[in-house]
Each structure stands twice: as structure tokens, then as C-alpha cells.
Amino acid sequence: DLTQTEKFADFDQEMFEMTLDLTKQICEEHVLGCYQEVDSEGGAQFDKGSVKIPHQYHGIHKIMNEAGLFTMGVSPESGGQGMPYTICMASYEYYSFHMGFMLYPEATAGAAHLIDAFGTDRQKKLYMEKMYAQEWGGTMCLTEADAGSDVGALKTKAVRQPDGTFKISGAKIFITSGENDLFKNMVHPVLARIEGDPVGTKGISIFIVPKYRVKEDGSLGELNDVHCTGIEHKMGLKGSATCSMSFGDNGDCIGELLGEERQGMKIMFQMMNEARLGMGLQGSSTASVSYLHALAYAKERVQGKNIKDMMNPDAQNVPIIQHPDVRRMLMYMKSHAEGLRALVYLCSLCLDKAHASSGDEVDKWSGIMDFLIPVCKSYGTDMGFKVTELGIQCFGGYGFCNDYPMHQFMRDMKIASLYEGTNGIQALDLVARKLGAKNGAVFMNYLAEMNKTFDAYKGDARLADMSKDVKEYIDLMAAMGMYFASCGKEGKFMIPITNAYPFLNMVGCISLAWLHLWMAGVAEEKLQAIYKAKGIDPTDKKAIIALPSEDKEVAFYQGKVFSAEYYIKNVLPTAKSYAEAIKKEDMSLMKINDASFACGENL
């Protein structure tokens, strides 16, 4: 229990529940209503170097900021509440499907955190405080036209000045919130290479570059030769201004070093890891909202007879939730939405445990979190997208129409597998860096946590069968980790590299199965207590099946158990197909000549 630790001793469950109730209320009253409206009105608009964001965002931002929702996880020393990150993620889940809006405050908080972690006291006073207060905005200026995933190829230059500042020159693209009318000033952390520093990532530094220069008393000065040259026209997230930014067109863009020289990549990854966990949350949040819309529609849409009454000419048509194929889609959506949520919360819990622990426990929990970040980002966003696709399918033809937001959920979701490092890069990160971290100790620690759950429930008659299945796949994951290690020793380096993405999906699939078993175990304990309190015999299946119709708590916990059963029996087996394919060591994708990918006169 985090509240039993010194770091979080000032909090209790009542405070957490009040916070979540508040965020839920704000979402229902202010965020949901404008979601489709912003998209249909065209989103952010660019005009002669300026960007106007959707007018609805100004009001939402003010309400959420006044409620303190953007500084929940910020330390009290920096002006926040210092809540556990797990509670922050649970709160933000209500809004993260509307990432077109959330990127404005989230990018700002992320940039402020960089200054909080690496800035001088002066920089914190001048920039960080106003950014945490959401008076000034923030970005991360990383990507260039010829330096996207290959950050080391960037061309933005920093020239040292006699007063210790730097003149910045270069152009960046795909900069979220780079220009807008929400904030009084924008503070851009910009990756650049100091003149004379080595090529590649080792020569990169990071600089604080404000839109308006900031005087020593904190007031705004003159414009800083920073210009927005346009915004992207995107398939989704239309409310978010994705900007092209130009620095130093007139030779007068001043920046100041953040942290130490040539440490830009290290500093940037502080923000990147937070953002990647946020993308996993976007996957969970969007999957959840798509599922809930599909569920509501399936309960009210009447179409066709129940399959049991197909031959009865007098049978009434029924809601489509009674049709097996619709139930299949809903169970897939439900089990993935709940599993992805658990994965995000697990990553957040690891971070909280690392912050609240000491000694070896810090390394253990931070290591597990680092291992899971690429899984959470990649598997979370890919499966989140898959859930939104099924959401459209549940609506039939109406899902393809503008009457409902289902297609927008899918359009907005797609970007999450691309930004903050593509999912292919996440897979390479997992295999090349995280799997063998600390000589494999991190991976073994994660497996040990999974096995603890198996040990807890293997003797429970209600969960023994699911426990056995999950244990089989935990062992499979361990074996595949060892297999990749042996490939490295045998010089077969391309086997792990070419199969990094399937391996990550295998880890994600097995991780969700483990988390489902964990949730089912908790749910079963709750159910047994409820049955006992109601005087119901746990073996009376008829009474137990009927109980959810009259008791929402029972409905919730039984839903958790059935969700786990569905996932473990129907989805988990796909992990074995990943492992079997990997071990075939097929290299056809590397052997094929580039010219053989397509043949024809016009190709």
C-alpha cells in the first residue's frame, strides 16, 4: 500500500476517490461534449504564423487547471500535490482519448519536468513555475525533415555566445503545440548540436528557447526569432496543432543550455519515457471509450432474432448484444481495454514504488518499469487501435458514418503507434536494451513477479485452470528470452532484430494474461465475501448467474473473472504462434532483393 510509505503518507483512499470523482465529473460535463464538435469544425487553424486552437479548449483548460489536475503528480516543492503517479494515470485516463486537447497541457508539463529535473534554480524560477501553472506552454523540439527516428542526423546548430547563451538556427517539424493562442509564452526545449561537437547522438545538447525572451524579473521581453511556418493537416487529432518551427531565420534566436553539454539525448529521454507511458494510456483510454460506446449501442440496437429462436416465426427481434459474434467482439474489446489499463497502472505503480523505496528495491522497480515502457507504448497503442476498429464493426454501417464518434476514435488513435518513437523502435529498444539489462536481472525480476501471482492462485479451485495456462506462457516468455540470448552468443544477431516486434507482442500478450489472472484473483475474493454476506451458496450456479442483474458490484467482479477467462482461453494462445514463428529463424525478409518487393513497369 503506497499510503503506508513515507513518501505518500499524507494521502488516503478517500482523497484518491475524491480526485477520481472530480476528474470523471469534469470529463462528463465538459470534455466528452466537444469531442466530435472540434473534429467537425476543423480543429486548429493556421494564419500568417499564428495558430488558433479550438475555442472549446480554452474553457476546458481553465476548468481543469483551476481544479489542479495538471499538477497532481508534481512535487510539493515545485508547486504540485505530489500524488502517486498511479492515481495521476487513473485520473488522466478519463481524458486521454481526447488527446487533441490533452497534448497542450501534457507537453507543457513534460517540458516543465525537464527543467525541474535538470535546470538551474534560475531556470526553474524563470520558466518552470509558470509552465507548471499552465500560464506558459511547452514542447519538445526534436524531429527534423531528415532526422526523424534517426535523431543523430539533426542539423540544428547552436553557436556559443560570449555571455554563455547560444544562438540557435534550424528547423523542426511535427512539433506538438509549437504555436497556439492558449499560452502567453511558449518554452521550447530544442535539441541541437553545439558548433564543433561530434556528429551523432553523442554530440547533441538541449536548449531552452522561449518564443518571447524572458527578463530576469520574469516578465516577457521581445520576440526571440522563433516562428511557426505551418501546421500539418492530419487524419486525426485535429484539435492539436502539429507545427513546423523555424529557429533563427534572422540570426537572432537565443537559447540557454539545459543541463550539461552533450547530454541532450539523456535529458530528452526523461520526457520521452513519460510520453511513451502516456501513449500507452492513450491506447487504454481510447479502447475503453470505444468499447463503452459499442456496448451501449449493442444493448439498444434491435436487429434480428436470438439464434435460439431462429426457427420461430413469432419470435421478437432482440438487441444485437444477444448475437454471438457481437458478444465475441465485445469480449475482445472489454478484455483488452481492461488488460491495457492494468498494464499502464502497473508501470505507474513501479514508478511509485521506485520513488517510495530505498536500496535495491529502487533498482528493482525502476528496472521493471523501464522494461515495460516499450511494451506499454507499443502493445498498448496497437491493441488500442484494434479495439477502435472493432468498435466500428459493432456499429455496422453506422460506425462508418459521422453520426457516431467511432471512426474518430480510430483516426485519433492511429498516431499513437507513430509518435514518441514508432512501435518498431519500441520493439528494438525492448530486445536490444531492456531484455539484457543488468545481465538479464531486470527480466528475471519481472518473471518473478509474474510467478508470485501463479503461486498465489494455483491452489484455488476457481482459478487453478487459468493459473495453469498463464504459468505455461510465463515459462514460454522466459524460454524465449533465453533463446534470444543464445542467438547473440551464436552470432545470430539478426534473429532477435528481425523478430523484435513479434517478441514484443508476445510479451504484451502474456503480460496482459498475467494481469487478468491477478485481477480475477482479487475479484473472486470479493465475490466470495459478497456471496457469504448475502447467504448464497457459492456452488449455487443458478443464483450466482442471476445476481449481476440486481447487484452492480457483483456484475463488476463477475465481469472481471469472465474477462480473464476469455482472454486467457482465446487470446493468450496467440503468444505461442509468435514464439513458434520466431524459432523458425526465417530470414526471407532480409534475403529478398529490394527489386523483388514489387514488379511491374509502373512500380
- Beta carbons within 8 Å of 66's beta carbon, 6+ residues apart: none
CB-based contacts of 418-425 (< 8 A; 24+ apart in sequence)? 419/174, 419/176, 419/279, 420/272, 420/275, 420/276, 420/278, 420/279, 420/377, 421/149, 421/272, 421/276, 421/377, 422/149, 423/377, 423/378, 423/381, 423/382, 423/501, 423/504, 424/500, 424/501, 425/149
Contact 552, 479 (CB under 8 A): no
In whole angstroms, what is the distance from residue 73 CA to residue 8 CA?
Answer: 11
CB-based contacts of 315-324 (< 8 A; 24+ apart in sequence)? 320/394, 321/295
- Beta carbons within 8 Å of 159's beta carbon, 6+ residues apart: 166, 167, 169, 194, 195
Q: 256, 274, 389, 420: which is the annotated catalytic residue?
A: 420
- Beta carbons within 8 Å of 136's beta carbon, 6+ residues apart: 108, 127, 130, 183, 184, 185, 186, 187
Kindly write down the DSSP assignment for every residue of 244-278, as one continuous string.
EEEE-TTS--EEEE-SSTT-HHHHHHHHHHHHHHH
> Does the annotation mark 420 as catalytic?
yes
In whole angstroms, what is the distance from residue 63 CA to residue 290 CA?
Answer: 25
Kindly write down the DSSP assignment for every residue of 489-534, as one continuous string.
HTT-THHHHHTHHHHHHHHHHHHHHHHHHHHHHHHHHHHHHHHHHH
Contact 142, 172 (CB under 8 A): yes
End-to-end, the C-alpha distance of the chain in Å comes to: 60
Tell me the residue type at 587.
M
Give the residue numbers marked as catalytic.
420
